[in-house]
Amino acid sequence: MSEHVYKQIKLTGSSKSGVEDAVQNAIAKASETVKNMRWFQIIDTRGHIDNGRIAHWQVTIEVGFTLEE
Protein backbone atom coordinates (compact mmCIF):
# COMPACT_ATOMS: atom_id res chain seq x y z
CA MET A 1 0.00 0.00 0.00
CA SER A 2 1.39 3.39 -0.94
CA GLU A 3 1.39 6.30 1.45
CA HIS A 4 -0.86 9.26 0.66
CA VAL A 5 -0.93 12.92 1.58
CA TYR A 6 -4.40 14.45 1.80
CA LYS A 7 -5.64 18.01 1.58
CA GLN A 8 -8.97 18.98 3.11
CA ILE A 9 -11.54 21.55 2.06
CA LYS A 10 -14.91 22.57 3.52
CA LEU A 11 -17.98 22.75 1.31
CA THR A 12 -21.62 23.62 1.99
CA GLY A 13 -24.29 22.07 -0.20
CA SER A 14 -28.01 22.76 -0.14
CA SER A 15 -31.13 20.94 -1.25
CA LYS A 16 -34.88 21.21 -0.95
CA SER A 17 -35.08 17.39 -0.75
CA GLY A 18 -32.87 16.54 2.22
CA VAL A 19 -29.47 16.09 3.80
CA GLU A 20 -28.18 13.38 1.45
CA ASP A 21 -29.05 15.42 -1.64
CA ALA A 22 -27.30 18.46 -0.13
CA VAL A 23 -24.12 16.39 0.32
CA GLN A 24 -24.43 14.98 -3.21
CA ASN A 25 -24.85 18.49 -4.64
CA ALA A 26 -21.71 19.76 -2.89
CA ILE A 27 -19.60 16.80 -4.00
CA ALA A 28 -20.92 16.89 -7.57
CA LYS A 29 -20.14 20.58 -7.96
CA ALA A 30 -16.67 20.24 -6.39
CA SER A 31 -15.85 17.28 -8.63
CA GLU A 32 -15.93 19.66 -11.61
CA THR A 33 -12.63 21.17 -10.44
CA VAL A 34 -11.29 19.08 -7.53
CA LYS A 35 -9.71 15.76 -8.49
CA ASN A 36 -8.90 12.66 -6.41
CA MET A 37 -11.60 13.19 -3.75
CA ARG A 38 -11.52 10.21 -1.39
CA TRP A 39 -13.70 10.85 1.67
CA PHE A 40 -16.08 13.28 3.34
CA GLN A 41 -17.27 14.00 6.85
CA ILE A 42 -20.42 15.91 7.78
CA ILE A 43 -19.45 18.87 9.95
CA ASP A 44 -22.75 20.75 10.32
CA THR A 45 -26.39 20.32 9.34
CA ARG A 46 -28.89 23.14 9.34
CA GLY A 47 -31.93 24.26 7.43
CA HIS A 48 -33.95 27.24 6.33
CA ILE A 49 -37.53 27.66 7.52
CA ASP A 50 -40.14 29.49 5.48
CA ASN A 51 -43.74 29.92 6.68
CA GLY A 52 -43.31 27.26 9.37
CA ARG A 53 -41.98 24.63 6.96
CA ILE A 54 -38.54 23.40 5.95
CA ALA A 55 -37.60 25.27 2.78
CA HIS A 56 -34.20 23.65 2.26
CA TRP A 57 -31.35 21.85 3.99
CA GLN A 58 -27.77 23.08 4.22
CA VAL A 59 -24.97 20.62 5.01
CA THR A 60 -21.33 21.55 5.56
CA ILE A 61 -18.86 18.77 4.82
CA GLU A 62 -15.12 18.38 4.98
CA VAL A 63 -13.72 16.62 1.91
CA GLY A 64 -10.32 14.95 1.72
CA PHE A 65 -8.50 14.44 -1.54
CA THR A 66 -5.09 13.07 -2.42
CA LEU A 67 -2.45 15.39 -3.80
CA GLU A 68 -1.02 14.46 -7.16
CA GLU A 69 2.56 13.28 -7.20
Give the model's pLDDT for residue 5: 86
Torsion of Cα atoms, 50 then 52 then 53 then 59, to 10°: 60
With 0-12 / 13-18 / 19 or more C-beta atoms within 10 angstroms meaning exposed / middle / buried, residue 17 is exposed
- Of the candidates 62, 52, 61, the one whose C-alpha atom is nearest the C-alpha of residue 15 is 61
pLDDT by position in tens, the chain (length 69): 467 889 999 999 999 999 999 999 999 999 999 999 999 999 999 999 999 999 999 999 999 999 887
- Of the candidates 26, 25, 23, 64, the one whose C-alpha atom is nearest the C-alpha of residue 42 is 23
